Chains A and B, each alone.
Chain A
Amino acid sequence: MKVPINWLKEYVQIDCSAGELSERLTFSGLEVEGIEHYGSGLNGIASAVILSVEPHPSAEGFLVCGVYDGRRELSVVCGARNVKVGDSVAFAGIGTVLPGGRRIEQVEIQGVESEGMLCAEDELGLSDDHSGVMILPEDTPAGTPLPQMIGPPEPVLNIEVTPNRADCLSMIGIAREIAALLGKPLRLPEVRLDETAYPIEDAASVRIEDAEACPRYTARLVSGIKLAASPPWMRRRLFECGIRPINNAVDITNYVMLECGQPLHAFDMACLKDGGIVVRRAKEGEMITTLDGAARSLTPAMLVIADARTPVALAGVMGGASSGISGSTGTILLESACFKPAVVRKASKLTGLSSESSRRFEHGIDMENVEWASRRAAALLTSFAGGHVARGVIDLFAARPQRKKIICRFGRVRKLLGLKIPGDRVMDIFRSLDLDVSESNKSYCLVNVPSFRLDLENEADLIEEVARIHGLDKIPGSASRCTVVPDADDALSRAVALCRSHLCGLGLTEIMNYSFVSDTLLDMFASGNAQGRVILPRPISAEHSVLRNSLLPQMGDTLRRNCSRQTEKAALFEMGRVFFKDEKGLIEEERLCIGLMGPVGRSGLDRRGAPSEEELFLWLKGIFESLCHSLGLKGDPLGFSSGCSRIVFSATDRKTPARQLFPAACLEKDRSVFILFDGQPVGIMGLLKQSIRDEWRLRMPVALVELTTGSILQEAFTTRSAAKLPMYPSVRRDVAMVVSENVTHESVLEAMRKIAPKELTSIDLFDIYYSKDLGMSCKGMAYSLEYRSLDRTLTDDEVNELHAAIKAGIKTELEVEIREG
């Protein structure tokens, strides 16, 4: 809110600088976001009179104006359309610097020289208006410097008023705060009203149909109105507050609203049928054209002011055009009322119409002040618009609210703030804010909350008043101390951090994508799961319209984006939530995703050339195994191809429940697996489908894994016990075999495990080779087997016997040729 300091000075003595005042306000809860100097930087700008207006010969939309600046006649090209011969306008000659820093030069606009500029208000920093050239009062002599007309620059505070402080949406409200901060009295304007006309009841009536929505309604009649411009001081203050002066009658209603926070409305009495006003709910299908010229259809959710026929105002939001002040207005019905915040809010939302008035009603207004505001405005209308006020006021005030009484215990103040503050100081603070202390003793006081402080409801609210007026800087910061909460545990969060640091240690970089994605991207990865997606009904953009149901699509997209920026090699991971819905409702799940692209894992000299699909897959699998290991899911010495006996890989073509949970369709069918943990599907791993790579021009193969982390993180911090180390030496024997190309490592392990004696303690694959000698579609595999007994040294003969049995076992299980030698 814009607050001119000069205006405040009418209500409170301010003898500090604008900067100091800002500081005090900011540290008491009214944050001053900036100080503007209204009317500064206007040197060189003066009035000029329009002598002629011609359309520009070639530049469409431009005018060529002849102007007189008090010394000579000049020709100026102008883009605005609102000038006519005889107007007095704001003119900046060649060499003038506008408040924004722009210097006016002589320019040629399509063949016509322009010797200056006719300025709009926004160009002069006087308002936000850029609708046309600033037109000055008619009788302004040409050459009058604008600073002389505007007055000297004055500081205007731009204050952010928090939603609870409705009382500070007014000059008096802010002045009251300043009075408390500076220890000065608050002076309210004295209102003396001469009621000279007929009794109001003779001409007007008011009826409230919905007293809950409108707890108070007052009306005054002011006749004999002579519309004219408001006095310059009033115009200037409205300007400074960002409100456009219109005429004395309208300006006065706005002025009083800014002064005390009570929105007012002036109806042209002649336009109200039968002079009667009804405050009622709108009827379905009723229409109103509001003052901004828009026709609006109304619903019963909205409260209206109506005359005997139709609505004449949308209560608290905006008046109707038909009953507004116009040149012919002679008698005004002045409305000052209180409308329920929720009702105004609803109407404002439904119509999309927000005004200075609706903003104040939504925050809540001081019900006790309604009549004072009306009186104040009526008095100003008498002074500045020639009005005569009818005798009396219509004041319908159904239920005067009780004043709240709150007990404030001084001990509680000290406890909550951690501040040693005497009770007398606490009460002084209350009194300085016009909070009436009616009762007190050594340990507490009773505060009667005035009607303008809607925000004060309990003791904590009063304690806040003490904190902010006394000063937060006076509260000492305690020395921090560790306090232990027994049984509190955050192992899961530590396990996540462990995953993160482990993966970073393996050379992976963490990424973070939005929780929102586009349908298109999800479809590209898995078009089958569309019904389980969580849609945002009002997305910001189509790119961000669905909650992600997998981390893979964005991982793929991230690799694509980096690839397009000349990064051909990447090892990335993301940990985050995914969202989907099933019969039971919305589900969110923590997941981990890893994406590898190009020759990752290889060091410097080996990076030439793309890795084979198998190589990249095995890098990914290695990272996965290593991660499982760090999470306490250790390998089995007899070697499961997954690295851990509790984790099983199964082909993605099998029907498993994981198919719905993970977008398996984005992976190459025979280059991907489901991951099962203790029999439950927890993820998928594999190579990104060729068709997606082609579409995204990914030259290098991409390997992806996505895991649900819930279960696999559970044992990260399980304590393990040490086993006795073996005392007797082990013996190694190798076995080399030739098998068909499609015999897997896992099936060889399986064959060996089947007949493994207890002395077989480990199986290591140490070579795979292809050679012409082996024949087409065959490969050689070589394993090193370790034998050991826990209670004695094995003899050569014993080992040979065990080893022969294993070899024989492999032969019965697999089609294999064992190489001897």
Chain B
Amino acid sequence: MKAQDILDLKSKAIEECHNAGSSEELEAIRIKFLGRNGLLQEIMKGLKGAEPSERPAMGRAANELKQELGANIGSCRDLLGAAKSGGKKRVAFDYTLPGRWHGRGARHPISAVIEDAVRIFASLGFTVADGPDIETEYYNFDALNTPADHPSRDTQDTFWLESGELLRTQTSPVQIRVMEQQKPPVRIIAPGRCYRRDTTDATHSANFHQIEGLYVDENVSMADLKGDITYFARKMMGPEVKVRFRPHFFPFTEPSVEYDFSCHVCKGAGCRVCKNSGWIEISGAGMVHPRVFGFVGYDSEKTTGYAFGMGVERIAMIKYGINDIRLLYDNDIRFLEQLSS
């Protein structure tokens, strides 16, 4: 057998398959030529005994037979199938019907902001740390350089428990807990719930979330704080966001600052969201107070560090355009599903 014989066989087979009147006939043709004991197998066996010079051409021809015949059988089968169903009642197929899936799910906007913040800071090497909601006076106030009679305790009204413990008013106690457990460098972010005796209204909630950040090492400076907060702002709110810093006071940082993001709605031109100032106040930060280092046994000569806190609800409200903080805790499915992503 020569290569040409194989090609002739191919033409014959293709012709046969176009003449087939039913899928059974077509199947018979497939078995005859391509089946386990079919003609193609025989040709392949014959290759071994063929002239070495003939072999490559024969091999190519055999392959051609296999490919082309296979494709022709496929298309003839489709044609036969279509003809068949055209004769009988067609099974309905409506691709416009609703798809089948579970329904949509959504992260809560507060979780979404926390996860985004964690991801952004993780890219700077921060890992998540955690602390309890029920705190001691020591971690929430004393070790944060807020002595009992300090006026700054006035600014946050605390939920005290019968046990003498309290519901933490800030995530800052996590700073102390982490520094007690490890030596520098420290690079943590601590999201969590906090509680203050605020009467609930459109912008206040007695139960709220903060994200604490702490970076302690040799040579951490305010320039690093500014750089990292700005990096975060751009990743969180968009690349055009600007950040400004204002001096402020917190007992556990010195110097202390507050920082604002430029309003992402009006791009700083002034609008209702930013009360025409072009800026939205976000939260506080500063360089860790040397006394705080004293409480955790760090050498404040050798190490410096920055800390920041930010209100999660505030960022969520700004980012998603939510005008009432209570919506975040009302859990109306219609509200939550709008924000699914």
Contact = CB atoms under 8 A, between A and B. Distances in A.
A456 to B, nearest CB: 10
A165 interface: yes
Nearest to A590: B130
A535 B334 CA distance: 33
Contacts of B340: 504, 509
Contacts of B228: 478, 480
A459 B291 CA distance: 11
B39 interface: no
A619 to B, nearest CB: 10
A458 B289 CA distance: 10
A360 B240 CA distance: 43
Interface residues of B, number: 86
A606 to B, nearest CB: 9
A430 interface: no
Contacts, number: 242
B125 A588 contact: no
Nearest to A534: B161
Interface in B224-251: 224, 226-228, 230-231, 244-249
B37 interface: no
Contacts of B106: 504, 509-510
Contact of A510 (B152, B226, B247, B336): B336
A293 B219 CA distance: 59
Contacts of B245: 472-473, 475
B170 interface: no
B162 A460 contact: no
A579 B133 contact: yes
Contact of B331 (A505, A515, A558, A571): A558
A538 interface: yes
A483 B214 CA distance: 13
Contact of B222 (A29, A419, A484, A485): A419
B47 interface: no
Contacts of A535: 161-162
Interface string A337-352: 0000110010000000
B185 interface: yes
A725 B151 CA distance: 70
B295 interface: no
Contact of B223 (A419, A484, A601): A419
A594 B118 CA distance: 24
A362 B149 CA distance: 9
Contacts of B125: 482-485
A485 B287 contact: no
Interface stretch (B23-31, B55-63, B72-80, B193-201): B193-201
B162 A503 contact: no
B224 A509 contact: no
Interface in B131-185: 132-134, 149-152, 154-155, 159-163, 165, 167, 185
B68 interface: no
A28 B258 CA distance: 11
Contacts of B35: none
Interface stretch (B14-22, B93-101, B266-274): B93-101
Nearest to A515: B207
A775 interface: no
B304 A586 contact: no
A415 interface: yes
Contact of B221 (A29, A416, A503): A416
A605 B98 CA distance: 8
Most chain B beta-carbon contacts within 10 A, residue among A459, A538, A576, A600:
A538
A544 interface: yes
Contact of A468 (B110, B132, B255): B255
Contacts of A604: 97-100
Contacts of A29: 246-249
A460 B257 CA distance: 14
Given A483-B215, A562-B331, A604-B100, 4 more contacts: A418-B222, A464-B255, A540-B200, A561-B332
7 contacts: A415-B219, A467-B247, A475-B245, A478-B224, A490-B128, A558-B331, A586-B134
